[in-house]
Amino acid sequence: MNRLSDENLRARRQLKLSRFVVYLILIFLSVLSLFSFYMLIVNASRSNADLQGGFRLLPSNYFFKNLKNAWTDASINVPRGMLNSFIIAASTAVLATYFSALTAYGIHAYDFKLKKLAFTFIMAVMVIPNQVSAVGFYQMCVKLGWTNNYLPLILPGIAAPIVFFYMKQYMESVLPMEIVDAARVDGSGEFRTFNTIILPMLKPALAVQLIFTFVESWNNYFMPALLLDKAEMKTVPLMIAQLRSADYSKFDMGKVYMFILLAILPVVVVYIFLSKSIIKGVTAGSVKG
Amino acid sequence: MKKALALLLALVMVLSMAACGTSKTEETKAAAPAPAETQAATPAETEAPAAEEGKVFNIYAWNEEFKGFFEKYYTVPEGITVNWIINPSDGGVYQDKLDEALLNQENAPADEKIDMFLAEADYILKYTDSEFTQDIQALGVTDFSNTYEYTVQAASDSNGVVKGVSFQCCPSALIYRRSIAKDVLGTDDPAEVQAKLDSWDKFNAVAADAKAKGYYMTASESETFRVFSDNGTSALVDDSGKLTLNDSIKAWQAQAKDFSDKGYTLTTGIWDDECTAQMFKDGKTMCYFGPAWYFNFSMGNAQDPEKGCPGDWAICQGPQAHFWGGTWLLAATGSDNPTMLADIMDTFINDEEVCENLIKNESQFTNNQAVNAKFAADPNYGNAFLGGQNDVAVFVDLAKNIKFENKTIYDQLLCEGLQTYWREYCDGEVTEEEAMANYYKYINEKYPEIVTP
Amino acid sequence: MNQLREKAPAKHKSISYAKWGYLFIAPFFITYAIFKLYPLFLTIYNSFFENYRSGLKQVGPNFVGLANYIKLFTPDANGIIDIIKYTGNTVVLWLGGAIPQIVIALLLAIFFTSYRLNIKGQQFFKTVIYMPNLIMASAFSMLFYTLFSNVGPVNQLLMQMGIAEKPIDFFAIKITVRSLICLMNFLLWFGNTTILLMAGIMGIDQNMFEAANIDGATSTQTFFRVTLPLLTPILVYTVITALIGGLQMFDVPQVLTNGAGNPNRSSMTLIMFLNSYLKTSKNYGMAGAISVIIFIITGLLSMLVYRSLTKKD
């Protein structure tokens, strides 16, 4: 009796200790994760001269001045850049998510001769970096007059192997074919079934991939840098790159940090807003091999 | 169902927005100035020639230096919008983007054609000696009586056709910190300092003294690069396309390594924070090298009285006379605004008021000898940043030595790369052979046609 | 319109539905063919030509056979073959970030899903650790650059604490540059991986854990005997996605080293190498050849992936 409670006590103490350690690790990693955001905010609140003077842990009072400077900068039109980035990222995210779900459903729900081959093909090309075909892609765009055009940045989103793979795995775990059969009995057309019955069931997965692809596209630099050079068409990452080349006399680091802050703000807001359903989405879509 | 529909709808909308993004913005851009223009045109319909010119004036540039001067001192004709296309110079991005646009110039709609673009001494030849720039004398810029000879030569092609002008003249000087010079040399008088630093032997010896007193001679091992490279006797790439580092460059390499090893200098890039931080109050560096534009462009932050030490600087010639950089305005072939183009160029070399303002307000050394001479002779003129020293007078003297020779179209990246890769050797991270091998690789990537050892 | 015909066969998947399968996957394949395959073939085609820009003049395209490949595999004066060196760099930088990323993520995933530990504030932690992924990689490395520069706060701190006498030039030392790149990649991706792995663990049948518990298995035993084997598929997925990211590594080292991959090109990745030919010289011949090599490397890897995936079926 006594020995048992002793053991119990030891186990409890052990659990307490391990819990303490785990929290310590979690807090450390969270601090590490938030540190860069914090630094950005602090730096965005400091004047250029102040920044030149070195490091500071506490925010200063230049925030709104920097905000005004950044927002109304004559040569770098942030609102315009954000709109451009948004058009590209939103379209890419919607296309990639929708068509990946459609493709995954096509392979998941139907039997056809080339099904296995199609699946194998997508899996095989998944690993190929986009940049590998950049030379040809750029030449093609130049030939077609597609430079300074958003379409070559958006349309390739329709073929997104990684998103497809995720959708396919998700469907395998949550999508029983009985539902499809039931819909057919009800006389629903295949395309309609997909749009009205299947898509809503995929909501969590769609949410996850929407934000993942949106973030990826929003942050993309390589391709837009090749294709866009008109000021009014530039995206946010291109503008940030341009900032670094500004005059040394006018090289206002406070403004630069503010630009970066503005550049990531929309994504952060959307993410925090959606984070619950995103995490739920990923967790619900427990991927099975 | 509703949501899926909404999603699809949103998709269609965004897509169509994106699809029209290109064409529509152009249309609206083209259409937007129209109402304003018709309003302006009705009262003064007689101004026919102006109406023939394009409504958009496109300028390619790599930074905002000239843009600032342009916006302050040039009055843009009514009804014309000036459009700046700015790309970073670093790593050759500006040249890449400019080349692409020039090659596409013929097919571009009138309002998107480049009218004018900026170029540096390091690669201006590439553009002047090509069909992408046009004769500005034909456009009406004919008065070069006050400009410096070398600026016209640099802007001319091999047949002597002038393609552009520079708004500045760029003799480069030794810029020293007065207080440190007093401590190390016992004087801060420009003439006396010059006497103590007028050769590399003296310069190197003083570097040892500076180190002994706890100072750095320079803040970057590349600080003296331009002094050496401008005094070289051959171009970086010879006529057969072979890379050749002349004795002057080799002397710099030796000095850079020596200074780094002995701690006479910091090993860092001349544009890096560490180098510019040395310009502040608590900086420990005695010497910088640069032309008039250096005060504003590179030392801008050091002009802040709180952080920097304005007044504690002065200039003299230094070990060797040299020039560095300079921005030329070149006339693009196919411009649809020839009148305005010529007017801008003429303004920045011949308009005395503008040139005077450039000196007074912007610490520039202009490309107008008459205006420069006026300031040089003016006993009341002094540059406060230099403790009241008449820098224009110093530059007028130094400008006499400038020769524009031994330039290639590759200089910008060849110089950038040499400094970057040699620095690794100075740092002791790689052997000399490795540093040079890496430099050659870099050249092969940038310019396949250059033959490297 | 087709509804009548479809209704008739009803019930299970049957051949008459096959055309829908083709129809649904058609957009993907058409897009892929236009935007990826065709450019890829163009790229391969380019690799057999001399084709670059010399100033404002275009050189080529002239057919040169395998000359570009031969150049790519010719050792330099010090006996170093660039492309092999950069492949090595890429692998080192990838592993340096990916191993801690997956290990830590696995640990965190176990913490979060452990009923015994019953972590509070999970939602908060999960949200926060994913957040670095939202920052542009280029902005993130710019921030790190300022933090670790010679005049940056890290050096100031080290000097104030007396650890360093003069600033440590983090960007001139191979090990520190590489470590910083790995650290950044780790920070950018560990949250993402944690979430994915958690999904995998929660997908495991809870009865398995209970059974293990009843059999008196310790938590270590449970992990290695139950969790890990059942987690393999999702682990494979995370390794693959990490691998894809690793092969494409570009922004972080590019911005941190200003494209030079310093020191001694030891942090130059394959894509940075490719990028250096795409810029000024527009050397599509050499860039094409490098692309083909990267393609072959990824091809080999994707075969490996395919094998590991089909084995499960």
Identify any residues that bridge with B82 across adjacent strands, giving them in sequence order.
B57
Average pLDDT by consecutive 10-residue portion of chain B (453 residues)? Answer: 47 45 38 38 40 83 87 89 83 85 85 91 91 90 89 90 92 94 93 93 94 94 93 90 92 94 90 84 91 84 82 92 91 90 91 90 90 91 91 91 88 91 91 92 91 87
Shortest alpha-carbon distance between residue C135 and chain A (Å):
6
Q: Does A158 touch chain B (CB under 8 A)?
A: no
Q: How many CB pairs below 8 A link B and C? A: 97
Instruction: Tokens for B254, please give them.
Output: 């030796």
Per CB-CB distance under 8 Å, the chain A contacts of C204 are 286
Measured between CA atoms, the residue of chain B closest to residue A240 is B88
pLDDT at A277: 67
Has residue B64 been placed in a domain? Answer: yes
Shortest alpha-carbon distance between residue C134 and chain A (Å):
6
pLDDT at B30: 37
Per CB-CB distance under 8 Å, the chain B contacts of A90 are 14
Residues B217 and B273 in one domain: yes
Tell me the C-alpha to C-alpha distance, in Å, between residue B318 and each of A23, A165, B199: 62, 66, 7
* CA distance linking residue B394 with residue B329, whole number of Å: 25
pLDDT at C221: 83
Find the helix packing angle between A236-243 and A78-109, rounded to 10°: 140
Helices and strands in chain B, H and E counts: 21, 10
Chain B adjacent subunits, 3+ CB pairs under 8 A: A, C
Query: What pTM did the predictor assign?
Result: 0.84
Per CB-CB distance under 8 Å, the chain C contacts of B268 are 150, 169
Shortest alpha-carbon distance between residue C263 and chain B (Å):
6
Residues B130 and B28 in one domain: yes
Indicate which of C5, C135, C184 best probes the interface with A, i.e. most A CBs within 10 Å of its own CB. Answer: C135
Q: How confident is the model at residue A77 (pLDDT cuts 50, 70, 90)?
A: confident
* CA distance linking residue B409 with residue B350, whole number of Å: 28
Q: How confident is the model at residue A153 (pLDDT cuts 50, 70, 90)?
A: very high
Instruction: Tokens for C26, please give them.
Output: 């058609």
Q: Is B425:B435 a contact under the CB 8 Å cutoff?
A: yes
pLDDT at B50: 46
* CA distance linking residue A200 with residue B282, whole number of Å: 64
Per CB-CB distance under 8 Å, the chain C contacts of A211 are none
**Overall domain count for chain B:** 2
* CA distance linking residue A147 with residue A118, whole number of Å: 31
Per CB-CB distance under 8 Å, the chain B contacts of A75 are 64, 67, 84, 86
In this structure, chain A runs to a length of 289
What is the pLDDT averaged over residues A216-229?
84
Residues B154 and B227 in one domain: no
* CA distance linking residue B296 with residue B365, whole number of Å: 12
pLDDT at A280: 66
The answer to whether the Cβ–Cβ distance between C31 and A155 falls below 8 Å is yes
The answer to whether the Cβ–Cβ distance between A219 and C187 falls below 8 Å is no
Has residue B430 been placed in a domain? Answer: no
Q: How confident is the model at residue A200 (pLDDT cuts 50, 70, 90)?
A: confident
C300: number of Cβ within 10 Å: 11
Q: Does B409 touch chain C (CB under 8 A)?
A: yes
Measured between CA atoms, the residue of chain A closest to residue C294 is A132
The answer to whether the Cβ–Cβ distance between C169 and B427 falls below 8 Å is yes
The answer to whether the Cβ–Cβ distance between C10 and A184 falls below 8 Å is yes
Query: Parallel, antiparallel, or unpaired: how do β-strands B171-177 and B285-290 relate?
Result: antiparallel
Has residue B295 been placed in a domain? Answer: yes
The answer to whether the Cβ–Cβ distance between A94 and B10 falls below 8 Å is yes
pLDDT at A90: 92
Question: Domain boundary at B322, B345, B367, which?
Answer: B322
Q: How confident is the model at residue A135 (pLDDT cuts 50, 70, 90)?
A: confident
Query: Parallel, antiparallel, or unpaired: how do β-strands B285-290 and B216-218 relate?
Result: parallel
Q: Does B267 touch chain C (CB under 8 A)?
A: yes
Chain A adjacent subunits, 3+ CB pairs under 8 A: B, C
> Which residue, chain included where needed, has tokens 């990916």?
C98
pLDDT at B39: 39
What is the pLDDT averaged over residues C141-170?
83
DSSP C279: S
Instruction: Tokens for A3, please give them.
Output: 């020995």
pLDDT at C241: 79
Shortest alpha-carbon distance between residue C188 and chain B (Å):
26
Q: Does A47 touch chain B (CB under 8 A)?
A: no
Residues B12 and B156 in one domain: yes
Instruction: Tokens for B160, please give them.
Output: 């002597």
Residues B67 and B215 in one domain: no
How far apart are the two ends of chain A, measured CA to CA in Å? 47
Residues B22 and B165 in one domain: yes
Q: What are the DSSP calls for B384-407, one per residue? A: GGGTTB-HHHHHHHHHTT----S-
Residues B186 and B102 in one domain: no
What value does the mean pLDDT of chain C take?
A: 83
pLDDT at C173 over 70: yes
Q: Does A242 touch chain B (CB under 8 A)?
A: yes
Has residue B437 been placed in a domain? Answer: no
pLDDT at C119 over 70: yes
Q: Does A151 touch chain B (CB under 8 A)?
A: yes
Measured between CA atoms, the residue of chain C closest to residue B445 is C277
Which residues, 6 or more positions from A153, have their beta carbon under 8 angstroms from its beta carbon? Answer: A88, A92, A217, A220, A223, A224, A227, A228
> Long-range contacts: C304-310, Cβ < 8 Å, 24+?
C305/A123, C305/A124, C305/A126, C305/A127, C305/C236, C305/C240, C306/A120, C306/A123, C306/A124, C308/C236, C309/A123, C309/A289, C309/C236
pLDDT at C184: 93
pLDDT at B173: 93
Q: Does C162 touch chain B (CB under 8 A)?
A: no
Q: Does A77 touch chain B (CB under 8 A)?
A: no
Helices and strands in chain C, H and E counts: 15, 2
Please name the member of C77, C258, C276 whose beta carbon is closest to the beta carbon of B433: C77
What is the pLDDT averaged over residues C62-78?
90
Report helix, strand or coil for C35.
Answer: helix
Has residue B207 been placed in a domain? Answer: yes
Q: Does C85 touch chain B (CB under 8 A)?
A: no
Q: Does A200 touch chain B (CB under 8 A)?
A: yes
Q: Which pLDDT tens digit goes with each residue over A4-27?
A: 677 788 888 888 888 899 999 999
Evaluate the CA torsion angle B381, B387, B390, B392 in order and state its sign: negative
Range of the domain at B246: 172-322
Greater model confidence, A81 or C309: A81
Highest mean pLDDT among A116-125, C9-18, C209-218, C303-312 belongs to A116-125
Would you call the peptide bond into C263 cis, given omega within 30 degrees of 0 as the criterion?
Answer: yes
Radius of gyration of chain C (CA): 25
Measured between CA atoms, the residue of chain B closest to residue A89 is B14
Q: How confident is the model at residue C101 (pLDDT cuts 50, 70, 90)?
A: very high
* CA distance linking residue B119 with residue B61, whole number of Å: 8
Q: Is B223:B282 a contact under the CB 8 Å cutoff?
A: no
Residues B129 and B215 in one domain: no
What is the pLDDT averaged over residues A118-134?
85
Shortest alpha-carbon distance between residue B161 and chain A (Å):
31
pLDDT at C265 over 80: yes
Percentage of chain A exceeding pLDDT 90 = 18
Residues B149 and B186 in one domain: no
Residues B137 and B32 in one domain: yes
The answer to whether the Cβ–Cβ distance between B84 and A231 falls below 8 Å is yes
Measured between CA atoms, the residue of chain A closest to residue B304 is A49
Residues B157 and B117 in one domain: yes
Question: Domain boundary at B358, B376, B394, which?
Answer: B376
Measured between CA atoms, the residue of chain C closest to residue B132 is C56
The answer to whether the Cβ–Cβ distance between A244 and B304 falls below 8 Å is no
Q: For the purposes of burial, counting CB atoms within 10 Å of the CB of B43, is it exposed (0-12), middle (13-18) or buried (19 or more)?
A: exposed
Has residue B368 been placed in a domain? Answer: yes
Residues B96 and B148 in one domain: yes
Burial track B46-55 (b if 16+ CB lie within 10 A, e otherwise): eeeebeebbb
Which is nearest to B368 in space by CA: B390, B342, B346, B397? Answer: B346
The distance of Cα B170 from the centroid of its chain, to the nearest Å, equals: 10
Has residue B385 been placed in a domain? Answer: no
* CA distance linking residue C1 with residue B47, whole number of Å: 66
Has residue B292 been placed in a domain? Answer: yes
Shortest alpha-carbon distance between residue A90 and chain B (Å):
8
Shortest alpha-carbon distance between residue C54 and chain B (Å):
7
Element (H, E) at C30: helix C18-32
CATH of the domain at B368: 3.40.190.10
The answer to whether the Cβ–Cβ distance between B126 and C55 falls below 8 Å is yes
Q: Is B308:B92 a contact under the CB 8 Å cutoff?
A: no
Which is nearest to B423 in space by CA: B231, B235, B218, B266? Answer: B266
